[in-house]
Amino acid sequence: MTILLLWLLVIAIAFIGFICFTQFFRGISATALMRWSLVYQNIVIFILPALVVAHWRSAQPAHWLRLNTIPQGRVFGVAALVTICSMPLNNLLGYINRLIKLPPSLHPLEELMQSMEESSAQALQVLLDTSDVGLLLLNIFIIAILAGIGEEFTFRGVLQGLLTSDKFGSSRAIPHMAIWATAFLFSAIHMQFYGFIPRMLMGAFFGYALVWSGSIWVPILMHSLNNAIVVVLTYIAHQKQWDPQVLDNFGTGDTLWVGVCSLLLTIGAFYLLRRSTTISSASSRTSIGN
């Protein structure tokens, strides 16, 4: 509990600093401010508090965050396969998520959430719509790599790590409850109700990848790759003057069969990920024994 309070305190201080940070950059363009804000968010709000907690929690912070474990290459390859295969499935789940309607008594809240999501989507689209290769690479670094590291440090590294400590269950068992609780919070913090289900499932994928591989680098790869693909596809859509909705709807409607195939392929790839991490762990034990 003390560690959790410390973590929340550090994050609160970081948020206060974020307000001051945005005031300092008031004179720059909206897109530049958005990029700087994302950099600040990922480094100061996500990465640094995670490192503080890791140092407070353990005499070996890198080990506690699972930073010093590097699985075999096949594990990263299969993890990337899971990410790619699941993308149309995420679109399908997002479509199903959007069909969910709140009770009439909560209609004002539903309208507020829709308005917030539309504003967020429009802001992100402005950030991603560029024909400049330099800005494309910068977006990949900020939105994919930096966000993947920052959010995985915080959610899978710290939060899931705290929930799977001795107080919450045996480290020998797969901590399903901790994985899904972390995935729930991971999705909730994005404040996007109509993307809640696919984002929670994605968070669960990341959580199981961490537990099975024993390395934070595997979910970081999956998270970063997912974001990078979105950034690159949006860049291509902008170059080709495609409707961005085509990308979001791929796997639904006329391409529903792609979403169904994605579900089956994701299940198969997820099974392969479990098998590859088991083989990798067995190989590591054999090497140590030799």
Decide: 178 and 168 in contact? Cβ < 8 Å.
yes
Q: What pLDDT, on a 0 to 100 scale, did the predictor assign at position 7?
A: 59
The string of pLDDT tens digits covering residues 192-216 is: 788 899 999 999 999 999 999 999 9
Q: What are phi and psi of 252, to 5 degrees?
A: -130, 170
pTM greater than the 0.85 cutoff: yes
Q: What pLDDT, on a 0 to 100 scale, did the predictor assign at position 167?
A: 47
Among 84-98, 190-204, 240-254, the range with the most confident prediction by mean pLDDT is 84-98
Q: What pLDDT, on a 0 to 100 scale, did the predictor assign at position 106?
A: 73
Q: Is residue 281 over pLDDT 70?
A: no
Which has more confidence, 132 or 16? 132
Decide: 97 and 195 in contact? Cβ < 8 Å.
yes
Report how far residue 22's alpha carbon sits from residue 37's, in angstroms, rounded to the nearest whole number: 7
The string of pLDDT tens digits covering residues 2-53 is: 656 665 666 667 666 666 666 666 666 778 878 888 888 899 889 988 998 8
